[in-house]
Structure formats: C-alpha cells, structure tokens
Amino acid sequence: MTLSRRVGLNTLVQLAGRLLTSTVAFVITALLLPHLMDAPQLGVFAFHLALYQMLANVLDFGAGTIVIRQAAREREQAGRLLGMLVGLKARFALGGAGLLVAVALAFEGLSPRAGLLCLAALHLLAHAPAGAGAIFAVDMVFARQARVAVAGQLAWLAGTLALALAGVREPAHYLLAFGAGIAVNAWLAWRWAGQRVRVRFDAPHAERAALWQQAWPAGVSMAAASLYFYIDSVMLRPLAGEEAVAQYSNAYRILSFVLMVPVLFSQVILPVYARLWAAGPGALLPFFVRTTRFLFALGAPVSATVWLVSRDVMLLVFPPQYVAGARALSILSLAVVCVFCAYPHVMLLLAAGEQRLMMRISLCGAALNVLANLWAIPRFGIEGAAATTLATEAFVLAASATCAARRTGLHCPARLLLRPAAGAALAAGLLAATLPWLPQAPWLRVGVGLLAGVAGVLASGVLPPDFGTEAGAPGAAPEPAA
C-alpha cells in the first residue's frame, strides 16, 4: 500500500470516528444544553468541562507520545511501554482528581452542587486504563480507536438525554454524564488493547526512569499547550462572569470542531514521522513538505471565509441570545490556519527528539496567553480572550517553524504554499462578492461559505492527497520535495 493511501485511509477512519464523536459532543454542548440551561448555568458547565479537558490532555505528561514513538520503532517492547504509560497516567490522574475537587469546593462552596462535582471529578481516574489504547496508534489500526471513542460519546449522549427527559437543569448532573462516557471509553480501550498486546507492569526502575527523562519535557510542553488552549474559558469566569464563559465557549466550540482535522491527521502521521526520521532527515523531507502543504491548504480557506459569516454561523447553530459570540468567532477563525500549519512542525520536533525545545516554546506560549488574558479580558471581554488565542497560536507557529528549521534542517519552501494561498484568497473573494446578493438566511449564507471554502481547497491542488509512494519503512529512498 502506498504511503498516500495508508495515511489517507487512516486519516479518513479517524475523521469519520471523530466527526461522529464531535457531532455528538456538539449536539450535547451546543444544541441540547443551551436550550436546557440559562446562560449562567451553561457558564458553570463550560467552566468545569474546560478544566476536565485541560487536565485530561496532560495525564500522561508526554509519555504517550514517547511510548508511541518508541513502540513504533520496537514493536516487541510495546507491552512493557504501555504498562509504564498506564502507571504514570494513574498517578497523575489521582493528583488531577484532587485538584478538580479543590476547585469545585472553592467555586461552589459546601453545597449539593459541589458534592456532585467532586463525584464527577473521579472520572479522571478512568483515563489511566485508557492509556493502553495507544497500541492502536502504534499499529495504525485507528478503526478500533474510533470505535472506542464513539462508544464513550454515545454513553455521554444517553446519559444527557436521560437527564433532559427527567427535567434536570443542574449543570453538575450533566458533568456526571460526561464522566460516565469517559468510563465506558476506558473500559473498551483496555479490553480491546488486550487483544493486540499484553500490557505488562514488570518494567524495572531504570526503564521507568529513562522513560520519564524523555517524557517530562514533552509533558511540560503538553501541559503548557493544554493550558493556553483551554485557559480562556477558565479565566473568563472570575474576570468577566459566567455568562461571558457561555458566550465564548459556544464560539470556541466551532473552532474546536474544525481543529479535529489537524489533531487526527497528526495522530496518523506521527508514527510515520518517527520511522522516517530514524532513516535520516532526507527520508522525512518529502513527507514533511507534503503534509505541511496539505494542512495549509485545508486551514487557509477556513480562516479566509469564516469571519465573513460568523454571525450567520452563530445564529444557525445556537439560540439567538448567544449571537454576541460572533465577533469572538471572527477573531478565532483567523487562528485556524496557524494551528493547522503548526502541527507538522511540532510533529517534526517530537520525531527528532526535541521535546525540551518544544517545552520551551509551549511554556512561552502559555505565559503569553495567561498574561495577555489578564490584561485583555477585563478591557475587551470575550473579544480580548479571542485575540489572545490568535496571538498565542501565531507565536507557536512562528517559534516551532523557526526552531524546527534550525534544529533539523527541514523546512517547507514558501513557493509550494503560493497555490494554496491563492486558493484561500479565491474562496474569500467568491464569498465576499456573493454575500451582498443573498437574503438574510443563515443556513443559505453558511452553505455558500462552505462551498466557497471547498472551491478554495480544490483550487489549491492538494486533492487527491499525494504523500509519497513508499510505505514509511526506514531506509526507503526519499522522493523529490516538489
């Protein structure tokens, strides 16, 4: 199977699974809960959910990426590597659950809501056995990974619907339903991973210490990245109030839905990056260039068009009282191309073993985000938080691209990005010229925007994708970059 076909099929499987899971999450958080709760209640839900997601992303403290990279190179060691990963996640999950309990008591006081939130915080422990699911990425069998995620989301949806039918309005109950979905996800991941590999917990102390030495810089980097990705919603509550959290979170969910594309694509290409880098920078260069150009061509039309129809998007998806988030969505949409383009450079640094360098970049990005939010949110509210996100993502892109080029010698020539850039400009031009002639019907205006974006991607020349002809095996001859 060619590398293009292998990556393409795995990405499609990932996208299909994530599209379903993201759609379920979107239905719950954007279509159901805004109609069941008022804005302050929805703000409480969004505040605690952002904390859950921020901590869940860092429970392996970078060890997941290192384990996938090492197991992709030495498959026979996968069982012991996964055992170390599960153990590490269990320790961090205990600490994370304690932190969530403390936050619940601090914000909600000694109340029934706080008790429910403390119980919901225990869902973090389920992430430990779910770590065994890393074997699906190692073996590039993403269909199993997708089924695990879908089952967990459907359990969350079932719990949410049951609460809604019972007339429940308390946000803490819906956070319990979210935790139940994570528990189902963990159980299936552990069970199905056991069919592919025996998870072993017999690694000697020296191996655990060696893994930790490699992992902790990536862990700090992931913690910082998770911080600047989710901290806006957390900081908005004390600085601007619960209603501002609800307004911003709804706009941010649109961004998160779009960002599933580079996230899932990067999960597919990381093992390939690791194997090709082991064969030498020259073996990785063609694949790196093609993946960078591909993601730029997908992200640029989004940034070029969404800001033109942001109000229509908010009116189409959310109840009318949340249309105030349209300006924040316009700003956030400009960050999409930065995130899409940053991922190949981040994957390159990780494949090259530059976790410490990535850690410094992420720490700087987190510091920039927190300090800028402290200044911008009190002055500009949710628009200030959105502008801070844009500035942070632009910084991470510039820093990761510059450092990757200097440390690895690999970069994507600017001339190869000219056609995708022209495609994005074409999409924006078509949409701007068409909108004045359209009626004020959100579904129609958003639909035309989608068509303009698709036209931009088609004009970029990246479809069908071409990532090379070899299957990612070390030692294969490199292909021309252009």
Measured distance CA(475)–CA(472) in Å, rounded = 9
- pLDDT on residue 158: 93
Q: Considering the domain boundaries, does residue 471 fall inside one?
A: no
Same-domain check for residues 163 and 305: no
Overall domain count for the chain:
2
Mean pLDDT of 190-201: 86
Q: Write out the DSSP string of 67-107.
A: HHHHHHH-GGGHHHHHHHHHHHHHHHHHHHHHHHHHHHHHH
- Average pLDDT in the chain: 85
Same-domain check for residues 48 and 117: yes
**Among the three residues 179, 203, 227, which one is the final residue of a domain in this structure?**
203
**Among the three residues 203, 232, 263, which one is the final residue of a domain in this structure?**
203
Residue 18 — very low, low, confident or very high, per pLDDT cuts 50/70/90? low
Q: Considering the domain boundaries, does residue 241 fall inside one?
A: yes
Q: How many residues does the chain have?
A: 482
Q: Considering the domain boundaries, does residue 468 fall inside one?
A: no
- List phi, psi (to 5°) of 109: 70, -170
- List phi, psi (to 5°) of 328: -65, -40
Q: Considering the domain boundaries, does residue 469 fall inside one?
A: no
Same-domain check for residues 418 and 324: yes
Same-domain check for residues 281 and 164: no
Q: Considering the domain boundaries, does residue 129 fall inside one?
A: yes
Question: Exposed (0-12), middle (13-18) or buried (19+): which is 299, by Cβ within 10 Å?
Answer: buried
Q: Considering the domain boundaries, does residue 472 fall inside one?
A: no
Same-domain check for residues 224 and 162: no
Q: Considering the domain boundaries, does residue 210 fall inside one?
A: no
Same-domain check for residues 14 and 45: yes
Spatial neighbors of 243 by CB under 8 A, at least 6 apart, are 39, 40, 43
Q: Give the distance, in angstroms, between the CA of residue 78 and the centroid of all CA atoms in the same chain.
A: 25
Q: Considering the domain boundaries, does residue 467 fall inside one?
A: no
Same-domain check for residues 199 and 316: no
Residue 210 — very low, low, confident or very high, per pLDDT cuts 50/70/90? confident
Same-domain check for residues 100 and 10: yes
Q: Please calculate the CA angle 369-373-374 and round it to the nearest 5 degrees.
A: 120
Same-domain check for residues 228 and 177: no
- pLDDT on residue 457: 95
Same-domain check for residues 2 and 113: yes
Same-domain check for residues 248 and 388: yes
- List phi, psi (to 5°) of 226: -65, -35
Range of the domain at 112: 1-203
CA separation, residue 307 to residues 333, 334, 391 (Å)? 6, 8, 16
SS3 100: helix
SS3 466: coil
Reported as a single tens digit per residue, the pLDDT across 306-353 is 999 999 999 998 888 889 899 999 999 999 999 999 999 998 998 888
Same-domain check for residues 172 and 318: no
Listed ranges 103-107, 314-318, 448-452; the one with the highest mean pLDDT = 448-452
Residue 65 — very low, low, confident or very high, per pLDDT cuts 50/70/90? confident
